[in-house]
Amino acid sequence: MFSFTQEQKVFRIGGISIGGQPGEHPTVLFGGVFFKGAPRLKEAKKNLDDMLALSHTTHIPAIPDFFIRYEKHIPLIIDFINSALPSHHPFSVDIIDPHLKPQVLSHLAKHDLLHRTIYNSIHIGITEKERKTLHKYPPAMAIILAFNPKDNSPDGRLEILENSAHLLNKGLLEISREAGIEKLLIDTAAMAPGENSGAAIAAIPVIKEEYGLPVGCAIHNVVEKSHWLTSFKKSIVDASSNTTIPLFGGDYVLYGPLTLSSSVFPLIAWEDILISEYVENYFGVKPCDGHPRKRFFP
């Protein structure tokens, strides 16, 4: 359990706070919507409602992460966001295809949703068109993926933030801020087993101490690629793997599909309570009013 000497930034979006010293704010959980195939809206609405109900019960903030893979699905998914989420609630958009990113940003601007949007993500593959579109339609918050193809150590992740490992003309932090995005979350880029996957966890306290920015990752991806786990109850490992992130000082977790919510939310609430008890006693860090420790131990 950690306390950092660098001042820790706390960013707010739609009433949710992300960042700070460990134990100060609850861990924010991002759950994936529309992972594969055509969007199944009825199923997604039920899973989304379940996620928000669990968030209310545990006091663990919830942010849906919408995967947008095809151009034809952009209007459908944005309409769903408008209708299925409370009007103030933040969400993230997860877009792999760089050609779709400008279109998604344009649609979000048209529907006046940028003030609730977390852009997932800005990374080393950013195109000039994407940079210009982000400057024209800046989202309220963005995730920077600290993947360094030249060095997958924690120091390599720092390098990608600072100077893009000299693969771009500027570092990803500077590129993001030049686009007008000041609220930045760092994703430490969880890699497959055998590719120094543990560095994604080790990098969390390193980046928080260096920049004071909120940090997290999708350690769930490492579990998904650990094929030897198919002989066991993989879902248990999948859910429990997420506890490593707040234990190493992380602020948010991309925990995978919404179907994991019922396991992940109580697990992270328990972990946050455990951490909060210790850091208050040892470092004097008090939990905020919305912390699950205040919910269950008023």
Nearest to 120 by CA among 185, 167, 52: 185
Place of tokens 């350690």: 219
pTM above 0.95?
yes
CB atoms within 10 A of CB 99: 11
Q: Is residue 99 part of a domain?
A: yes
**Burial of residue 38, with CB atoms counted within 10 A of its CB: 0-12 exposed, 13-18 middle, 19 or more buried:** exposed
Find residue 66's DSSP bridge partners.
33, 93
pLDDT at 235: 87
Q: Is residue 3 part of a domain?
A: no
Region 257-275 average pLDDT? 97
Region 102-121 average pLDDT? 98
Q: Is residue 4 part of a domain?
A: no
Write the pLDDT tens digit of every residue in 33-42.
998 878 999 9
Q: Is the pLDDT of residue 1 over 80?
A: no
261 near 235, Cβ under 8 Å? no
Looking at the structure of the chain, the number of domains it has is 1
Range from 125-129, 184-188, 225-229 carrying the lowest mean pLDDT: 225-229
pLDDT at 234: 86
Write the pLDDT tens digit of every residue in 112-132.
999 999 999 999 999 999 999
Q: Is residue 1 part of a domain?
A: no
Q: Is residue 2 part of a domain?
A: no
Q: Which domain holds residue 94?
A: 10-296
Confidence label for 83 from pLDDT (cuts 50, 70 and 90): very high
CATH number of the domain residue 272 falls in: 3.20.20.20
Q: Is residue 43 part of a domain?
A: yes
Structure tokens at 16: 């949710």
Q: Is residue 106 part of a domain?
A: yes
Q: Is residue 5 part of a domain?
A: no
3-state secondary structure of 146: coil
pLDDT at 255: 97
Neighbouring residues of 74: CB distance < 8 A, sequence distance ≥ 6: 68, 100, 103, 104, 107
